[in-house]
Amino acid sequence: MESRWSDADAHAYRDRYAGHGEVLALRVYTSRLLGAEPALVQHGGGNTSAKGEVVDLFGERREVLFIKGSGWDLATIEPAGLPAVDLVYLRRLRTLTTLPDEVMVNVLRTHLLDGSAPTPSVETLLHAFLPYRFVDHSHADAILALTNQADGEAHCRAALGDEILVLGYIMPGFPLALAVAEVVEANPAARAIVLAHHGLFTFDDDVRASYELHIALVDRAERYLAAHPAATPLAAVTTPAQAQARAATLLPILRGLLHRHDPAHRHWILDHRATAELLAFAGDPEGRALARTAPLTPDHVIRTKAHPLVVEGIDWDDATRVRATLDRALEEFAEEYAVYFDENCVAQGVSRTRLDPLPRVALIDGVGQVAIGATVKAARIAGDIYTHTVATKTASRGLGPYRGLDLADLFDMEYWSLEQAKLGKASPPPLAGKIALVTGAAGAIGAAVAARLAEAGASVCLTDLDAGRLAIAAARLGPLPHLAVEADVTEAAAVEAMVAAVARHFGGLDIVVLNAGIAHVARLAELTDADLARVVAVNFQGYHRVLRAAIRLFELQGSGGDVIVNSSKNVFDPGAGFGAYSCAKAAAHQLGKIAALELAPLGVRVNMINADAVFGDESIPSQLWAEVGPERMRARGLDGAGLRAYYRDRNLLKVEVTADHVAAGVLFFATRQTPTTGATLPIDGGIPAAFPR
């Protein structure tokens, strides 16, 4: 690892944040340098601080500690992410003999200079008690590889030098802050301390010196690891291509079983990775044994649990046997978790609210790593952390036996009162954990539906043929947690590949919105076979192809689902010259009714929406009206605005029907507000001839 310090960049940060002062500007700069290294910190891990001064309302100068606040990531931190805390008061706390965690957090909040600032790090007192202006802390992989050994202190000294302080594990909080302050003050020449199973702290009055010492020590650790390779590499017999092919079947099965084993019956998102290193780790007996050991640092237990689900011996020739093996493995994991929870509560004489007994990471021989989360973000964080865990444990094999913390220490972190206090405070959105597929997502209705489902918490796959418009629709949803796939619903192979891509990307499928459609204007006498076939291929057969592929996933998952068919007001009230569209939509509508009959035993609900006259907006106008609008305007002697007014005024409510109205109807069915299947919901402002009957 090399220093990323640049004098030019440091000067630029001084200029950019001149209003915050040089100390805070440079603290932001080097914090981002640390955050840019995934091998140092991941997803909000690590923390940094700087001691400085501010001028209060009375014009008096006050000593403060700028410390990373909760919710901020070092890689993107801004001055607001380093809130100021009264340093004089913090130092007074050192005179206490005890300080409960809850009291400590309250003290930190009540001594912020800005009441709206984020809560300071739980390690704030450690930073405050150190007699240096700048403090840098990371959970560096290479440092943890050294400490997590039977003779970890010896490895640290051999790799980093005798001048580096090493302290045994103490849980974050007031006792750790006192212990670090005492050992540092007893060794005034020291500028770094390694905390076993926790990470590295460096400190100095010069911001660059503290940062560059941090990088230099991690570099030494990395070189030490490289100089002590394992005698034999971990071996895998599965290729990434084989693992990806198996995942398309395994992931939906696993996801359905997680739903069934979850006491709250939540839906989960899966993050699959099948690199050669992960496949070797999951496929080699030594790797699987290492997987059953403690995480690199107890902080990870919040994201990954104490250890992953480890599965081997799967018979890939039969999905039923795959399901049985996974089911048994989850049952055993839950039983072990119950024992872990009960034994530690009894041993420590505490009462805690038990968390769910589900794994957050699965290592599966022949498939690789599968991370599990309530959201795409949570699954990816668990996946990132465990990918680094695998790399670090693999790299440390040459040092000797791996030794993490015992289960009691992990329990303390997983069931820390500060974490327990968060339970139940946040209500998940209605479609949390649900995975949705929207066809025709580049159109006005499809884009609005995708956006509404995403707002409700679903992870959405948008699919369409028009790459440009699809990119616009996807951009409305942001980069996460969504997926955009170009696919032609008239091609069976493309549809199968698209649905498999959804399964591999998210783990399965819960909501299917059949929406792709095209229009063609021609009276029956002039309607050619080719034009009729083209419309039917998209508006009816395309619906069936997507539905057929989705049913296979619903069957593998066994956890229900929802299908919403966007048919049309024309199903009940067709228009002259619009025969191809009306007939194809009527067939799609009937398809939905039959699907409601056939899929009810799977717990899958199928409902239809009949919309009318949806024009879209300027960014994503309706493709259907782009095709049929000119003919309708000519026939009625209207311009574009006049045509909109005509369709608005012909319905009973005299309203313009928008894509958002249709999206609201889709959301109604997708959120299962009533026990309904096989229903038709008109969204047309009231067209008497189109009343369902």
The Cα 49–Cα 31 span in angstroms is 9
In three-state secondary structure terms, 688 is helix
In three-state secondary structure terms, 460 is strand
Number of H helices, E strands in the chain: 26, 18
The Cα 576–Cα 660 span in angstroms is 28
The Cα 315–Cα 312 span in angstroms is 9
Q: Could you tell me how far CA 300 lies from the centroid of its own chain?
A: 16
DSSP state of 119: P
Tokens describing residue 97: 């003999």
Q: Could you tell me how far CA 36 lies from the centroid of its own chain?
A: 19
| Bridge partners (DSSP) listed for residue 137 | 47, 201
Looking only at the bridges linking them, the beta strands covering 511-514 and 435-439 are: parallel
Q: Report CA-CA distances (Å) from 428 to 109, 146, 423, 425.
A: 26, 39, 12, 10
Can you list the alpha helix ranges (DSSP code H) found in 561-614? 579-599
Looking only at the bridges linking them, the beta strands covering 459-464 and 483-486 are: parallel
The Cα 353–Cα 431 span in angstroms is 25
The Cα 136–Cα 204 span in angstroms is 9
Torsion over CA: 533, 534, 536, 541 (sign): positive
DSSP state of 276: H
The Cα 638–Cα 271 span in angstroms is 52
Virtual CA dihedral for 356, 357, 360, 362, nearest 10 degrees? -160
The Cα 563–Cα 547 span in angstroms is 8
DSSP state of 86: E
DSSP state of 131: S
Chain position carrying tokens 């369409």: 464
CB neighbours of 522 closer than 8 A, spacing ≥ 6? 528, 531, 577, 579, 580
Short-list 63, 64, 30, 62, CA closest to 47: 30
For 160-173, b/e burial (b = at least 16 CB within 10 A) is beeebbbbebbebb
Chain position carrying tokens 């009816």: 540
The Cα 454–Cα 667 span in angstroms is 10
Chain position carrying tokens 């990323």: 4
Q: From the candidates 340, 402, 581, 647, which is the catalytic residue?
A: 581
Neighbours of 117 (CB within 10 A): 17
Q: What is the CA radius of gyration of the chain?
A: 30
CB-CB contact of 256 with 602 (8 Å): no
In the chain the first and final C-alpha atoms are separated, in Å, by 71
The Cα 514–Cα 588 span in angstroms is 9
Please say if 581 is a catalytic residue.
yes
| Bridge partners (DSSP) listed for residue 378 | none
Residues labelled as active-site residues: 581
